[in-house]
Amino acid sequence: MKKLLLLTLGVVSLFFSDYAAGRISQPAYNFSDSTINDSLLKQIASVDPKDGFKDLFIKGANADGFNTAQLNPLAISFVSDYMEQFGSRLMKMKTWGKPYFDVMSNILTQHKLPAELKYLSVIESDLKSYAVSWAGAVGPWQFMPATARNLGLRVSRSVDERTDFHKSTHAAARYLTQLFGIYGDWLLVIAAYNCGPGGVNSAIRKSGSRNFWKLQYHLPAESRKHVKKFIATHYIMEGEGGVTTLTKKEADKILVNSANYNEADVNTMNISGKYNSLVISQFVKMDLAVFNQLNPNFDKNLSANGAIDLRLPADKMLLFQANRPQILEQSIKLLLTMDGR
C-alpha cells in the first residue's frame, strides 16, 4: 500500500509541482489515463474512505468494541466561532438545499466516497449553480475551464457543464478520488482542492508531517481557512456528535443504544457551572452522540439558564461525580480557549 501510494504521489506530483497556490492553480491533468485511474481505484477500494477523516475526529472504542468519534479538540475553537457567525444561515441551507444535497450524496456514494464531502460545495459556492470566482472558476464545485475539460465536462461559449449539478458532481467525485489516492486524508484533499497538490506537497515537506494540524501553517492562509470552514460546516450540518465518520451500522448501533435507555437506567442530577458536554462525555467515557440524545442542547441550555438537569446512565453518573472537579476545571479551560480566539 505504501509503495503504491508513493509511486502514485511521485507520478502525479510531476504534473502538479509547477502550480502556484490559489483557485487558479487547479491542475490541468488528464484524468482519463486508464492506467493511473485503475491503480488509484484499486488502492481506494482497499481503504475505507471514511478513514480519511482521521485528523478531523478522535476515534476510540467503547465497551462494545465499536468505533466512536468526537470532534478533534484542535477544531473546537474555530467551529464554535463559525457556528456563532454562520450557524443559523447554514441550518436554513440544510432545509432549502436538501434536494441538492440528496443529488450530491447519491453521486458521491456511487463513487464510493463519503457523502459528507458534499459540504465542500457549500464552502466553494454556497450551492449556487452559476457562482463565478474572481479567477473564473464556475459552478457549485468551482472548476477552472481546463480542469473541467480534463474531468470530462464540456466548457464552451454555448455550453458550460460546470453549472450542471449532476455532471459537475460526478467530475468533482473523480477529482476527489484522485486526490484521496495521493493523500489518504480528506483534510489534505480539501486543502489540495483549494491550493493545488503542489501547495500541500510543499507543506508536507516543510513540516515533515502529513497531519493537517501539524502542517497547516505551511499552507497558504486561504487554504488553511478553507479546510477549517469545511470542518465547521461538516459539524454544523451533521449536528452535534460527529458520528458521520462511522459506518452506517456503527451509527445505527449508537442510536439504538441511546434509545434503549429507560428511566430506570438513567440518573438525573441538577448541576450549575461552566460545564461542557464534550468534556463531560470524555471523562465519563460516553460517546458524544449518545450524551446528546440524553441531554439535547446541553451547552446552550446550561449557558442560558445557569443550571440544568444532567441525565446520565447510572454508571456514567458515578464517573461524573468522581471526576466532577476535574471536569469543571477542563470545561472552564476549554471555554477560555474558545473565548480567547
- Going by the DSSP 8-state scheme, the letter that residue 20 receives in this structure is P
Domain holding 82: CATH number?
Answer: 1.10.530.10
Domain for residue 115, yes or no?
A: yes
pLDDT at 310: 92
Lowest mean pLDDT among 22-26, 63-67, 114-118: 63-67
Which residue range(s) make up the domain with 265? 261-339
Q: Are residues 211 and 295 in the same domain?
A: no
Q: Dump pLDDT digits (tens) for 275-299.
A: 988 889 888 888 777 787 788 778 8
Q: Dump pLDDT digits (tens) for 293-314.
A: 788 778 888 888 888 889 898 8
Q: Which of the pair, 208 or 81, is modelled with greater confidence?
A: 208
Domain for residue 256, yes or no?
A: no
pLDDT at 5: 36
Q: Which of the pair, 163 or 25, is modelled with greater confidence?
A: 163
pLDDT at 71: 59
pLDDT at 79: 73
Q: Are residues 193 and 324 in the same domain?
A: no
Q: Are residues 30 and 156 in the same domain?
A: yes
Of 220, 251, 282, the residue that ends a domain is 251
Q: Which of the pair, 5 or 52, is modelled with greater confidence?
A: 52
pLDDT-based confidence at 223, cuts 50/70/90? Answer: very high
Cα–Cα separations (whole angstroms), residue 162 to 83, 109, 114:
30, 20, 21
Q: Are residues 266 and 239 in the same domain?
A: no
pLDDT at 154: 93
- Determine the average pLDDT of the residues in 199-213: 91
Q: Are residues 70 and 158 in the same domain?
A: yes
Q: Is the pLDDT of residue 171 over 90?
A: yes
Mean predicted lDDT score pLDDT of the chain: 74
pLDDT at 72: 62
Report the C-alpha gap between 92 and 122 in whole angstroms: 12
pLDDT at 239: 53
Helix residue ranges, H only, the chain: 2-16, 34-45, 73-96, 98-110, 119-125, 145-150, 165-183, 186-195, 197-207, 212-215, 221-238, 248-259, 277-283, 288-294, 298-305, 314-322, 324-339
For the chain, what is the domain count? 2
pLDDT at 9: 33
Query: What pTM was estimated for this model as a whole?
Result: 0.57
Q: Are residues 218 and 270 in the same domain?
A: no
Which residue type, as a one-letter code, is found at position 129?
Answer: S
Q: Are residues 314 and 228 in the same domain?
A: no
Q: Which of the pair, 206 or 4, is modelled with greater confidence?
A: 206
Q: Which of the pair, 92 or 69, is modelled with greater confidence?
A: 92
Q: Which residues contact 221 (CB under 8 A, 6 or more apart)?
A: none
Domain for residue 96, yes or no?
A: yes
pLDDT at 217: 92
Q: Dump pLDDT digits (tens) for 74-110.
A: 666 677 777 778 877 888 888 888 889 989 998 998 9
Q: Are residues 118 and 98 in the same domain?
A: yes
Q: Is the pLDDT of residue 11 over 60?
A: no
Q: Are residues 71 and 219 in the same domain?
A: yes
Q: Are residues 99 and 60 in the same domain?
A: yes
Contact, 72 vs 58, CB < 8 A? yes
Q: Is the pLDDT of residue 144 over 70?
A: yes
